[in-house]
Amino acid sequence: MAQTTVPQEDPALLAAFEARIAAGESIEPKDWMPERYRKQLTRMMAQHAHSEIVGMLPEGNWITRAPSLRRKMSLIAKVQDEAGHGLYIYCGTETLGVDRHDLFNQLLDGSAKYSSIFNYPTLSWADMGVIGWFVDGAAIVNQTVLAKASYGPYARAMVRICKEENFHKRQGFEICATLAKGTPAQKEMLQDAVNRFWWPSLMMFGPSDKDSPNSAELLKWRVKRKTNDELRQRFVNLTVPQAQAIGVTLPDPDLKYNAETKNWEFGEIDWSEFWEVVQGNGPCNAERLAARNKAHDDGQWVREAALAHAAKRSAKSSAA
């Protein structure tokens, strides 16, 4: 290692920047910012955008098999939203001087990370409900805090996303509540989906605070406003009463209410599973990447046609 990765910043500029952060000011694209801030934001926003894009895959899988037209319509709308969310955030990354096609390429060649949750398979229709309820529920808990992030373009993208995310969660919970009142087989299907998704959903908030390599820096610069463990606790506190309301059990024998702290205390997360999935060894990592690459390759002719069409139109108007 010849060079250190931490660039030396001008101390005066850095102090002024940190004073602005401390004063709760919003940082805009053309403002001076430390290289680490730019790097951390790029990393975090790119991962977030990729997660939205990959998130379309487990759900797209069930569009053709939705049990009614109403369910099919909402699932299509939801998948379309996820694409939009990815685009809002990619647009934000470009304000940091990144080319979004470099980010696409990192996703396609497998060098980029995205949320570990999307590497789990969707085995039954109940999974669509549980993903909306847990996964989008967890996303809302995360994103409402990110809507106050110090970087303006990211915060604004989050405000937009939060407005849409509530629909996702509600449609998911409705599916679950419906199945919970259904036949014994439907109830069993729901409970099975809950059992499979509960722990991976808790892992969505990232490693525990003591093992999170980036948290301190992100908190210091107010990109994040709450720690992974704080957000995870908030999600558990919100979700347990919802599970009770529809009569499903959460697969954690250690789950109990602490009247003093008003928290639902939960058991130990299997972090070895989390790191396995993050390192690309989850149940569906390879499948997701292959599907994403196929979609990209299959879209090649559309992109070429759009360019050809634009060139033709431009030639026509300049000839006229």
Residues near another protein, by CB under 8 A: 28, 30-32, 80-81, 84, 87-88, 91-92, 94, 99-101, 104-105, 156-157, 163-164, 300, 303-304, 306-307, 309-310, 313-314
Q: In this structure, what is the dihedral angle of CA atoms 127, 133, 136, 138, given to the nearest 10 degrees? A: -120
CA distances (Å), 188 to each of 159, 246, 269, 302, in order?
A: 37, 13, 24, 43
Which is closer to another protein, CB of 139 or CB of 189? 139
Residue 73 near residue 6 (C-beta atoms within 8 A) = no
Q: Could you tell me the smallest distance in angstroms from the CB atom of residue 100 to another protein?
A: 7
The residue length of the chain stands at 320
Burial of residue 60 (CB within 10 Å: 0-12, 13-18, 19+) is: middle
| CA–CA separation, 52 and 72 (whole Å) | 19
| Closest distance to another protein from the beta carbon of 154 (Å) | 12
User: How many whole angstroms separate alpha carbon 113 and alpha carbon 204?
Assistant: 13
Q: Which is nearer to another protein, 105 or 261 (CB)?
A: 105
Cβ pair 239, 163 in contact under 8 A:
no
Q: Closest distance between another protein and the C-beta of residue 237, in Å?
A: 29
For residue 227, report the phi and psi dihedrals to the nearest 5 degrees.
Answer: -80, 165
3-class DSSP state for residue 265? strand
CB-nearer residue toward another protein: 219 or 291: 291
> Least separation, in Å, of the C-beta of 248 and another protein?
31
Please check whether residue 58 is in contact with residue 282, taking contact to mean a CB–CB distance below 8 angstroms. no
Q: Which of residues 162 and 238 has its CB atom nearest to another protein in the complex?
A: 162
Q: Supply the minimum distance, in Å, between the C-beta of residue 31 and another protein.
A: 5
Question: How far is Cα 10 from Cα 205, in angstroms, rounded to an integer?
Answer: 34
Query: Where do runs of H (alpha helix) occur along 9-99?
Result: 11-22, 35-60, 69-94
Nearer to another protein, 80 or 249 (CB): 80
* Cβ closest to another protein, residue 27 vs residue 138: 27
The C-alpha atoms of residue 234 and residue 205 are separated, in whole angstroms, by 11
Minimal distance in Å, beta carbon 97 to another protein?
A: 12
Least Å distance, CB 121 to another protein, is 29
Give 62 or 104: the residue with its C-beta nearer to another protein: 104
Min dist. Cβ of residue 78 to another protein (A): 11
- Round to whole Å and give the CA distance between 42 and 215: 15
* Residue number, 87 or 145, with CB nearest to another protein: 87
